[in-house]
Amino acid sequence: MLRWHDTEAKRGSSDPEILGSLVPCALLTRAFSYLSHTIPEFTDNCLINIIRNGEDYYASSEVNFIRKIDPQTLETLEKVDYSKYAAINLATAHPHYDTAGNTLNMGTSIVNKGKTKYILFQIPRSAPGSKTKGGKPFLKNLDVFCSIPSRSLLQPSYFHSFGISENYILFIEQPFKLDIRRMATAYVRGVSWASCLAFHKDEKTWIHLVDRRSKIEVPAKFYTDALVIFHHVNAYEENGHLILDLISYTDNSLYDMFYLKNLDGSFEETAKIPSLPCCKRFVVPLQFDKDADVGLNLVHLPSTTASAVKEKDGSIYCQPEIVCEGIELPRINYDYNGRKYRYIYAAGVKWSPVPTQIVKFDILTKRKLRWEEEHCWPSEPVFVPSPNAKEEDDGIILSTIVTTQPQKPPFLLILDAKTFKERARATVNVELHLDLHGVFIPEKDLKTEQETNVEGRHESKGGPSDKTNNIPETSLPAKQQMEGL
Protein backbone atom coordinates (compact mmCIF):
# COMPACT_ATOMS: atom_id res chain seq x y z
CA MET A 1 0.00 0.00 0.00
CA LEU A 2 1.25 3.51 -0.86
CA ARG A 3 0.86 6.36 1.63
CA TRP A 4 1.82 10.02 1.77
CA HIS A 5 4.53 11.04 4.20
CA ASP A 6 3.49 13.76 6.64
CA THR A 7 5.59 16.67 5.33
CA GLU A 8 5.48 20.42 5.50
CA ALA A 9 4.76 20.57 1.76
CA LYS A 10 1.78 18.29 2.20
CA ARG A 11 0.36 20.11 5.27
CA GLY A 12 0.93 23.60 3.86
CA SER A 13 -0.60 23.11 0.43
CA SER A 14 -4.26 22.97 -0.45
CA ASP A 15 -3.82 24.11 -4.06
CA PRO A 16 -5.39 21.38 -6.24
CA GLU A 17 -2.92 22.11 -9.08
CA ILE A 18 0.08 21.63 -6.77
CA LEU A 19 -1.38 18.47 -5.27
CA GLY A 20 -2.24 17.23 -8.74
CA SER A 21 1.38 17.55 -9.80
CA LEU A 22 2.80 16.01 -6.63
CA VAL A 23 0.66 12.88 -6.52
CA PRO A 24 1.74 11.40 -9.89
CA CYS A 25 5.41 12.12 -9.12
CA ALA A 26 5.17 10.48 -5.72
CA LEU A 27 3.32 7.48 -7.09
CA LEU A 28 5.77 7.02 -9.95
CA THR A 29 8.80 7.32 -7.66
CA ARG A 30 7.38 4.78 -5.23
CA ALA A 31 6.24 2.48 -8.02
CA PHE A 32 9.72 2.45 -9.58
CA SER A 33 11.27 1.78 -6.20
CA TYR A 34 8.80 -1.04 -5.62
CA LEU A 35 9.51 -2.62 -8.99
CA SER A 36 13.28 -2.40 -8.62
CA HIS A 37 13.10 -4.19 -5.25
CA THR A 38 10.44 -6.79 -6.07
CA ILE A 39 11.96 -8.28 -9.21
CA PRO A 40 12.11 -11.95 -8.15
CA GLU A 41 15.44 -13.71 -7.90
CA PHE A 42 16.04 -15.49 -11.17
CA THR A 43 16.92 -19.13 -11.55
CA ASP A 44 20.56 -20.16 -11.34
CA ASN A 45 19.97 -23.03 -13.77
CA CYS A 46 22.96 -22.14 -15.96
CA LEU A 47 22.26 -24.36 -18.94
CA ILE A 48 23.08 -22.24 -21.99
CA ASN A 49 26.81 -21.78 -22.43
CA ILE A 50 30.31 -21.99 -20.96
CA ILE A 51 31.99 -18.59 -20.81
CA ARG A 52 35.29 -17.20 -19.55
CA ASN A 53 35.72 -14.28 -17.17
CA GLY A 54 39.34 -13.47 -16.41
CA GLU A 55 41.03 -16.86 -16.21
CA ASP A 56 37.98 -18.65 -14.82
CA TYR A 57 35.23 -20.56 -16.60
CA TYR A 58 31.54 -20.37 -15.80
CA ALA A 59 28.32 -22.07 -16.78
CA SER A 60 25.91 -19.31 -17.73
CA SER A 61 22.33 -18.58 -18.61
CA GLU A 62 20.72 -15.21 -19.36
CA VAL A 63 20.34 -13.96 -15.81
CA ASN A 64 22.63 -12.37 -13.23
CA PHE A 65 23.80 -15.71 -11.79
CA ILE A 66 26.68 -17.74 -13.21
CA ARG A 67 28.32 -20.88 -11.83
CA LYS A 68 32.08 -21.27 -11.71
CA ILE A 69 33.26 -24.66 -12.93
CA ASP A 70 36.54 -26.51 -12.95
CA PRO A 71 37.30 -26.94 -16.69
CA GLN A 72 39.34 -30.09 -16.07
CA THR A 73 37.02 -32.02 -13.76
CA LEU A 74 33.77 -30.16 -14.64
CA GLU A 75 33.15 -29.85 -10.90
CA THR A 76 30.58 -27.22 -9.98
CA LEU A 77 32.13 -24.54 -7.77
CA GLU A 78 30.75 -21.31 -6.35
CA LYS A 79 27.70 -19.37 -7.48
CA VAL A 80 28.51 -15.83 -8.63
CA ASP A 81 26.10 -12.90 -8.86
CA TYR A 82 26.85 -10.25 -11.51
CA SER A 83 24.62 -7.77 -9.68
CA LYS A 84 27.18 -7.52 -6.86
CA TYR A 85 29.59 -5.94 -9.34
CA ALA A 86 27.24 -3.98 -11.63
CA ALA A 87 23.59 -2.91 -11.57
CA ILE A 88 22.34 -5.62 -13.93
CA ASN A 89 19.48 -8.11 -13.63
CA LEU A 90 20.13 -10.00 -16.86
CA ALA A 91 23.29 -10.79 -18.85
CA THR A 92 23.93 -12.65 -22.08
CA ALA A 93 25.54 -16.07 -22.31
CA HIS A 94 27.36 -14.94 -25.47
CA PRO A 95 30.16 -12.56 -24.50
CA HIS A 96 32.92 -11.56 -26.88
CA TYR A 97 36.67 -11.74 -26.27
CA ASP A 98 39.20 -9.28 -27.63
CA THR A 99 42.74 -10.11 -28.74
CA ALA A 100 44.04 -9.41 -25.23
CA GLY A 101 41.61 -11.94 -23.77
CA ASN A 102 39.33 -9.39 -22.11
CA THR A 103 35.65 -10.32 -21.88
CA LEU A 104 33.02 -7.97 -23.31
CA ASN A 105 29.40 -8.57 -22.39
CA MET A 106 25.97 -6.93 -22.12
CA GLY A 107 23.21 -6.95 -19.54
CA THR A 108 19.95 -5.23 -18.66
CA SER A 109 19.50 -2.93 -15.68
CA ILE A 110 15.80 -2.94 -14.80
CA VAL A 111 14.24 0.23 -13.36
CA ASN A 112 17.42 1.17 -11.54
CA LYS A 113 17.07 4.74 -10.20
CA GLY A 114 13.97 5.16 -12.34
CA LYS A 115 15.67 4.05 -15.58
CA THR A 116 15.91 0.84 -17.58
CA LYS A 117 19.15 0.52 -19.53
CA TYR A 118 21.23 -1.92 -21.52
CA ILE A 119 24.67 -2.10 -19.92
CA LEU A 120 27.95 -2.82 -21.73
CA PHE A 121 30.70 -4.08 -19.46
CA GLN A 122 34.22 -5.45 -19.70
CA ILE A 123 36.12 -7.89 -17.49
CA PRO A 124 39.91 -7.85 -17.95
CA ARG A 125 41.79 -11.09 -18.57
CA SER A 126 44.18 -10.15 -15.81
CA ALA A 127 44.65 -7.27 -13.41
CA PRO A 128 46.75 -6.57 -10.30
CA GLY A 129 45.41 -8.54 -7.37
CA SER A 130 42.79 -10.28 -9.47
CA LYS A 131 43.95 -13.84 -9.06
CA THR A 132 41.09 -15.87 -7.66
CA LYS A 133 43.45 -18.05 -5.65
CA GLY A 134 44.05 -15.99 -2.53
CA GLY A 135 43.15 -12.72 -4.25
CA LYS A 136 40.19 -10.79 -5.61
CA PRO A 137 37.81 -12.48 -8.04
CA PHE A 138 38.18 -11.29 -11.61
CA LEU A 139 34.73 -9.73 -11.55
CA LYS A 140 35.99 -7.20 -8.99
CA ASN A 141 37.61 -5.51 -11.98
CA LEU A 142 34.36 -5.36 -13.99
CA ASP A 143 34.12 -2.02 -15.81
CA VAL A 144 30.82 -0.58 -17.05
CA PHE A 145 31.89 1.54 -20.00
CA CYS A 146 28.61 2.41 -21.72
CA SER A 147 24.83 2.21 -21.36
CA ILE A 148 22.00 2.44 -23.88
CA PRO A 149 18.62 3.70 -22.60
CA SER A 150 15.74 1.31 -23.22
CA ARG A 151 13.05 2.77 -25.47
CA SER A 152 10.51 1.43 -22.96
CA LEU A 153 10.90 1.78 -19.20
CA LEU A 154 8.79 -1.24 -18.27
CA GLN A 155 9.19 -3.35 -21.42
CA PRO A 156 12.88 -3.70 -22.27
CA SER A 157 13.99 -5.78 -25.23
CA TYR A 158 14.95 -9.40 -24.77
CA PHE A 159 18.36 -10.17 -26.24
CA HIS A 160 20.42 -13.34 -26.34
CA SER A 161 23.59 -12.03 -28.01
CA PHE A 162 25.15 -8.95 -29.59
CA GLY A 163 27.79 -8.17 -32.20
CA ILE A 164 31.16 -6.44 -32.40
CA SER A 165 33.33 -5.20 -35.24
CA GLU A 166 36.76 -3.61 -35.10
CA ASN A 167 35.42 -0.21 -34.01
CA TYR A 168 31.80 -0.77 -33.00
CA ILE A 169 29.53 -2.72 -30.69
CA LEU A 170 26.18 -3.62 -32.26
CA PHE A 171 23.04 -4.10 -30.21
CA ILE A 172 19.65 -5.04 -31.64
CA GLU A 173 16.70 -3.69 -29.63
CA GLN A 174 13.96 -5.97 -30.89
CA PRO A 175 10.19 -5.88 -30.23
CA PHE A 176 10.43 -9.21 -28.39
CA LYS A 177 10.04 -7.69 -24.94
CA LEU A 178 10.04 -8.52 -21.26
CA ASP A 179 7.08 -7.12 -19.30
CA ILE A 180 8.52 -5.92 -15.97
CA ARG A 181 5.11 -5.53 -14.31
CA ARG A 182 4.22 -9.14 -15.06
CA MET A 183 7.68 -10.30 -14.06
CA ALA A 184 7.41 -8.60 -10.63
CA THR A 185 4.45 -10.86 -9.81
CA ALA A 186 5.53 -13.97 -11.75
CA TYR A 187 6.48 -16.11 -8.76
CA VAL A 188 3.36 -15.10 -6.84
CA ARG A 189 1.28 -16.22 -9.82
CA GLY A 190 3.30 -19.41 -10.13
CA VAL A 191 4.60 -18.76 -13.64
CA SER A 192 8.09 -18.51 -15.11
CA TRP A 193 9.61 -15.23 -16.22
CA ALA A 194 9.61 -16.60 -19.76
CA SER A 195 5.82 -16.22 -19.71
CA CYS A 196 6.40 -12.46 -19.32
CA LEU A 197 7.86 -12.21 -22.83
CA ALA A 198 5.75 -10.94 -25.71
CA PHE A 199 6.41 -10.17 -29.38
CA HIS A 200 5.05 -6.86 -30.67
CA LYS A 201 4.79 -7.50 -34.39
CA ASP A 202 3.81 -3.93 -35.32
CA GLU A 203 6.84 -2.28 -33.73
CA LYS A 204 10.26 -1.55 -35.21
CA THR A 205 13.58 -3.24 -34.53
CA TRP A 206 16.30 -0.72 -33.68
CA ILE A 207 19.99 -1.15 -34.50
CA HIS A 208 22.28 0.58 -32.01
CA LEU A 209 25.97 1.24 -32.66
CA VAL A 210 28.44 2.14 -29.90
CA ASP A 211 31.88 3.49 -30.81
CA ARG A 212 34.40 1.27 -28.99
CA ARG A 213 36.95 4.09 -28.76
CA SER A 214 34.77 6.95 -27.52
CA LYS A 215 32.35 4.59 -25.70
CA ILE A 216 29.47 6.72 -26.98
CA GLU A 217 26.43 5.58 -28.96
CA VAL A 218 26.31 6.71 -32.58
CA PRO A 219 23.51 9.35 -32.80
CA ALA A 220 22.09 8.19 -36.15
CA LYS A 221 18.91 6.10 -35.82
CA PHE A 222 18.87 2.82 -37.77
CA TYR A 223 15.90 0.47 -37.79
CA THR A 224 14.31 -2.44 -39.62
CA ASP A 225 11.04 -4.38 -39.51
CA ALA A 226 9.88 -6.41 -36.52
CA LEU A 227 11.84 -9.62 -36.07
CA VAL A 228 13.14 -11.96 -33.37
CA ILE A 229 16.87 -12.59 -33.01
CA PHE A 230 18.73 -15.05 -30.84
CA HIS A 231 22.14 -15.34 -32.47
CA HIS A 232 24.51 -12.95 -34.17
CA VAL A 233 26.90 -14.55 -36.66
CA ASN A 234 29.56 -11.88 -37.24
CA ALA A 235 30.05 -8.19 -38.05
CA TYR A 236 32.78 -6.28 -39.85
CA GLU A 237 33.48 -2.96 -41.53
CA GLU A 238 34.08 -2.43 -45.24
CA ASN A 239 34.45 0.80 -47.24
CA GLY A 240 32.50 2.99 -44.84
CA HIS A 241 29.81 0.40 -44.13
CA LEU A 242 29.18 -1.97 -41.25
CA ILE A 243 28.07 -5.46 -42.31
CA LEU A 244 26.01 -7.38 -39.76
CA ASP A 245 25.04 -11.04 -40.20
CA LEU A 246 22.51 -12.62 -37.86
CA ILE A 247 19.89 -15.36 -37.61
CA SER A 248 16.33 -14.06 -37.37
CA TYR A 249 12.71 -15.19 -37.20
CA THR A 250 9.47 -13.44 -38.14
CA ASP A 251 7.91 -14.25 -34.75
CA ASN A 252 8.60 -15.89 -31.38
CA SER A 253 7.02 -19.28 -32.11
CA LEU A 254 10.36 -21.08 -31.59
CA TYR A 255 10.57 -19.83 -28.00
CA ASP A 256 7.03 -20.92 -27.20
CA MET A 257 7.66 -24.40 -28.54
CA PHE A 258 9.89 -25.44 -25.65
CA TYR A 259 7.34 -25.26 -22.85
CA LEU A 260 7.14 -28.60 -21.03
CA LYS A 261 3.57 -29.15 -22.18
CA ASN A 262 4.87 -29.37 -25.75
CA LEU A 263 7.82 -31.67 -25.01
CA ASP A 264 6.04 -35.01 -25.23
CA GLY A 265 6.99 -38.24 -26.94
CA SER A 266 5.77 -37.06 -30.32
CA PHE A 267 7.78 -33.82 -30.25
CA GLU A 268 10.09 -34.84 -33.10
CA GLU A 269 7.17 -35.62 -35.41
CA THR A 270 4.68 -32.92 -34.40
CA ALA A 271 6.81 -29.88 -33.54
CA LYS A 272 6.77 -27.60 -36.56
CA ILE A 273 7.96 -24.00 -36.52
CA PRO A 274 5.96 -21.58 -38.67
CA SER A 275 8.96 -19.24 -38.86
CA LEU A 276 12.07 -20.72 -40.47
CA PRO A 277 15.41 -19.39 -39.17
CA CYS A 278 17.00 -17.13 -41.75
CA CYS A 279 20.52 -15.75 -41.93
CA LYS A 280 20.18 -12.10 -42.94
CA ARG A 281 22.83 -9.52 -43.81
CA PHE A 282 22.20 -5.93 -42.78
CA VAL A 283 24.44 -3.15 -44.05
CA VAL A 284 24.65 0.05 -42.00
CA PRO A 285 26.25 3.12 -43.63
CA LEU A 286 28.90 4.65 -41.37
CA GLN A 287 29.73 7.60 -43.58
CA PHE A 288 26.90 9.38 -45.37
CA ASP A 289 25.71 12.87 -46.18
CA LYS A 290 23.36 14.04 -43.46
CA ASP A 291 21.59 16.18 -46.10
CA ALA A 292 21.05 13.24 -48.45
CA ASP A 293 17.69 13.12 -50.22
CA VAL A 294 14.83 11.29 -48.56
CA GLY A 295 14.39 7.85 -50.16
CA LEU A 296 18.05 7.57 -51.17
CA ASN A 297 19.78 4.22 -50.65
CA LEU A 298 22.92 4.95 -48.63
CA VAL A 299 24.53 1.53 -49.25
CA HIS A 300 27.17 1.58 -51.97
CA LEU A 301 28.61 -1.93 -51.80
CA PRO A 302 28.28 -3.91 -55.04
CA SER A 303 28.57 -7.23 -53.17
CA THR A 304 25.18 -7.01 -51.44
CA THR A 305 21.52 -6.34 -52.15
CA ALA A 306 20.95 -4.98 -48.63
CA SER A 307 19.77 -1.37 -48.49
CA ALA A 308 19.61 1.52 -46.02
CA VAL A 309 17.16 4.23 -47.05
CA LYS A 310 16.86 7.66 -45.50
CA GLU A 311 13.41 8.47 -44.09
CA LYS A 312 11.67 11.84 -43.69
CA ASP A 313 12.46 12.03 -39.99
CA GLY A 314 16.18 11.44 -40.66
CA SER A 315 16.19 7.82 -39.51
CA ILE A 316 17.64 5.08 -41.73
CA TYR A 317 15.42 2.14 -42.74
CA CYS A 318 17.57 -0.98 -43.27
CA GLN A 319 16.38 -3.89 -45.39
CA PRO A 320 18.52 -7.04 -45.37
CA GLU A 321 19.87 -9.44 -47.93
CA ILE A 322 18.81 -13.05 -47.42
CA VAL A 323 22.06 -14.98 -47.08
CA CYS A 324 20.88 -18.48 -46.17
CA GLU A 325 17.79 -20.21 -44.74
CA GLY A 326 17.39 -23.13 -42.35
CA ILE A 327 20.45 -22.72 -40.13
CA GLU A 328 20.80 -21.96 -36.42
CA LEU A 329 23.44 -22.05 -33.67
CA PRO A 330 26.00 -20.37 -35.96
CA ARG A 331 29.72 -20.48 -35.27
CA ILE A 332 32.73 -19.10 -37.14
CA ASN A 333 36.49 -19.29 -36.92
CA TYR A 334 36.71 -16.87 -33.98
CA ASP A 335 40.02 -15.52 -35.24
CA TYR A 336 37.81 -13.79 -37.85
CA ASN A 337 35.38 -12.34 -35.33
CA GLY A 338 34.82 -8.67 -36.17
CA ARG A 339 36.64 -9.16 -39.49
CA LYS A 340 35.60 -9.96 -43.02
CA TYR A 341 34.99 -13.69 -43.20
CA ARG A 342 33.70 -16.35 -45.54
CA TYR A 343 32.42 -19.44 -43.70
CA ILE A 344 29.54 -20.11 -41.32
CA TYR A 345 29.26 -23.40 -39.44
CA ALA A 346 25.78 -24.11 -38.09
CA ALA A 347 23.15 -26.66 -37.18
CA GLY A 348 20.79 -27.36 -40.06
CA VAL A 349 17.08 -27.22 -39.29
CA LYS A 350 14.07 -27.57 -41.53
CA TRP A 351 10.57 -26.98 -40.19
CA SER A 352 11.39 -28.66 -36.88
CA PRO A 353 13.42 -26.97 -34.13
CA VAL A 354 15.50 -30.12 -33.72
CA PRO A 355 18.69 -29.93 -35.84
CA THR A 356 19.32 -32.90 -38.11
CA GLN A 357 22.42 -31.68 -39.96
CA ILE A 358 25.69 -29.85 -39.52
CA VAL A 359 26.20 -27.28 -42.25
CA LYS A 360 29.16 -25.37 -43.62
CA PHE A 361 27.99 -22.38 -45.63
CA ASP A 362 30.26 -20.47 -48.01
CA ILE A 363 29.05 -16.86 -48.08
CA LEU A 364 31.00 -16.13 -51.27
CA THR A 365 29.81 -19.04 -53.42
CA LYS A 366 26.55 -19.80 -51.52
CA ARG A 367 27.64 -23.44 -51.48
CA LYS A 368 26.71 -25.75 -48.61
CA LEU A 369 28.49 -28.80 -47.26
CA ARG A 370 26.48 -31.06 -44.93
CA TRP A 371 26.95 -33.86 -42.45
CA GLU A 372 23.88 -35.93 -41.67
CA GLU A 373 23.19 -39.37 -40.24
CA GLU A 374 19.90 -41.15 -39.64
CA HIS A 375 18.49 -40.89 -36.10
CA CYS A 376 21.18 -38.35 -35.11
CA TRP A 377 20.67 -34.93 -33.57
CA PRO A 378 23.84 -32.82 -33.75
CA SER A 379 24.67 -29.96 -31.41
CA GLU A 380 26.21 -26.60 -32.26
CA PRO A 381 29.37 -27.14 -34.36
CA VAL A 382 32.47 -25.75 -32.65
CA PHE A 383 35.35 -24.71 -34.92
CA VAL A 384 38.88 -25.45 -33.67
CA PRO A 385 41.68 -23.98 -35.82
CA SER A 386 44.67 -26.06 -36.79
CA PRO A 387 48.06 -25.03 -35.41
CA ASN A 388 49.69 -22.55 -37.82
CA ALA A 389 46.50 -22.39 -39.90
CA LYS A 390 46.91 -20.42 -43.12
CA GLU A 391 43.30 -20.37 -44.34
CA GLU A 392 40.04 -19.53 -42.60
CA ASP A 393 38.73 -23.10 -42.73
CA ASP A 394 41.96 -24.84 -41.67
CA GLY A 395 40.79 -26.82 -38.67
CA ILE A 396 38.21 -29.26 -37.38
CA ILE A 397 34.57 -29.18 -36.31
CA LEU A 398 33.49 -30.68 -32.99
CA SER A 399 29.86 -31.59 -32.34
CA THR A 400 28.26 -33.83 -29.73
CA ILE A 401 25.68 -36.12 -31.29
CA VAL A 402 22.71 -37.66 -29.49
CA THR A 403 20.66 -40.37 -31.11
CA THR A 404 17.03 -41.43 -31.03
CA GLN A 405 17.92 -45.14 -31.06
CA PRO A 406 18.64 -46.63 -27.61
CA GLN A 407 21.14 -49.12 -29.03
CA LYS A 408 23.20 -46.35 -30.63
CA PRO A 409 25.28 -44.47 -28.03
CA PRO A 410 25.96 -40.73 -28.26
CA PHE A 411 29.31 -39.61 -29.60
CA LEU A 412 31.67 -36.72 -30.23
CA LEU A 413 31.91 -36.11 -33.97
CA ILE A 414 35.11 -34.71 -35.49
CA LEU A 415 34.89 -33.32 -39.04
CA ASP A 416 37.52 -31.81 -41.29
CA ALA A 417 36.36 -28.18 -41.45
CA LYS A 418 37.58 -27.76 -45.03
CA THR A 419 36.10 -30.87 -46.65
CA PHE A 420 33.46 -31.77 -44.04
CA LYS A 421 34.60 -35.36 -44.19
CA GLU A 422 34.46 -37.30 -40.94
CA ARG A 423 37.86 -37.71 -39.34
CA ALA A 424 36.80 -39.58 -36.21
CA ARG A 425 34.13 -40.12 -33.60
CA ALA A 426 34.39 -40.98 -29.91
CA THR A 427 31.43 -42.81 -28.37
CA VAL A 428 30.47 -42.56 -24.71
CA ASN A 429 28.34 -45.03 -22.81
CA VAL A 430 26.30 -42.48 -20.89
CA GLU A 431 23.01 -40.71 -21.51
CA LEU A 432 23.41 -37.25 -23.04
CA HIS A 433 20.83 -34.59 -23.79
CA LEU A 434 20.77 -32.26 -26.78
CA ASP A 435 22.78 -29.25 -25.67
CA LEU A 436 22.74 -25.65 -26.85
CA HIS A 437 26.28 -24.26 -26.87
CA GLY A 438 29.77 -25.50 -26.11
CA VAL A 439 33.36 -24.41 -25.93
CA PHE A 440 36.76 -25.84 -26.80
CA ILE A 441 39.41 -24.93 -24.22
CA PRO A 442 43.02 -25.29 -25.43
CA GLU A 443 45.25 -27.17 -23.05
CA LYS A 444 47.45 -24.10 -22.59
CA ASP A 445 44.47 -22.19 -21.17
CA LEU A 446 43.75 -24.71 -18.43
CA LYS A 447 44.94 -23.53 -15.04
CA THR A 448 47.20 -25.76 -12.97
CA GLU A 449 46.10 -26.02 -9.33
CA GLN A 450 45.71 -28.38 -6.38
CA GLU A 451 42.41 -28.84 -4.56
CA THR A 452 41.30 -30.89 -1.61
CA ASN A 453 37.65 -31.89 -1.60
CA VAL A 454 35.31 -31.77 1.39
CA GLU A 455 35.85 -35.44 2.22
CA GLY A 456 39.56 -34.88 2.66
CA ARG A 457 40.58 -36.74 -0.43
CA HIS A 458 43.51 -35.11 -2.19
CA GLU A 459 42.67 -34.36 -5.82
CA SER A 460 45.59 -33.40 -7.97
CA LYS A 461 44.96 -31.45 -11.12
CA GLY A 462 48.72 -31.04 -11.26
CA GLY A 463 50.44 -30.60 -14.58
CA PRO A 464 48.82 -30.17 -17.94
CA SER A 465 46.58 -33.07 -18.80
CA ASP A 466 46.43 -34.93 -22.08
CA LYS A 467 43.38 -33.53 -23.83
CA THR A 468 42.65 -36.94 -25.34
CA ASN A 469 42.93 -39.02 -22.16
CA ASN A 470 39.17 -39.21 -21.67
CA ILE A 471 38.49 -40.62 -25.12
CA PRO A 472 37.79 -44.36 -24.75
CA GLU A 473 40.39 -46.76 -26.10
CA THR A 474 37.63 -48.29 -28.21
CA SER A 475 37.66 -45.01 -30.13
CA LEU A 476 41.38 -45.03 -30.87
CA PRO A 477 41.02 -43.29 -34.28
CA ALA A 478 39.37 -40.34 -32.55
CA LYS A 479 42.13 -40.23 -29.96
CA GLN A 480 44.80 -40.28 -32.62
CA GLN A 481 43.09 -37.52 -34.57
CA MET A 482 42.86 -35.31 -31.48
CA GLU A 483 46.51 -35.91 -30.65
CA GLY A 484 47.38 -34.73 -34.14
CA LEU A 485 45.83 -31.29 -33.64
SS3 readout for 156-219: CECCCCCEECCCEEEEEECCEEECHHHHHCHHHHCCCHHHHEEECCCCCEEEEEEECCCCCECC
pLDDT tens string 126-170: 866 545 444 456 889 999 999 999 999 999 999 999 999 999 999
pLDDT tens string 427-440: 988 888 888 898 99
Please tell me the predicted confidence (pLDDT) of residue 85: 94
Please tell me the predicted confidence (pLDDT) of residue 473: 35
Identify which has the larger pLDDT, 331 or 2: 331
Please tell me the predicted confidence (pLDDT) of residue 434: 80
Quick one: what percent of the chain has pLDDT higher than 70? Answer: 76
| Dihedral angle of Cα 334, 338, 340, 342, to the nearest 10 degrees | 30
pTM value is: 0.83
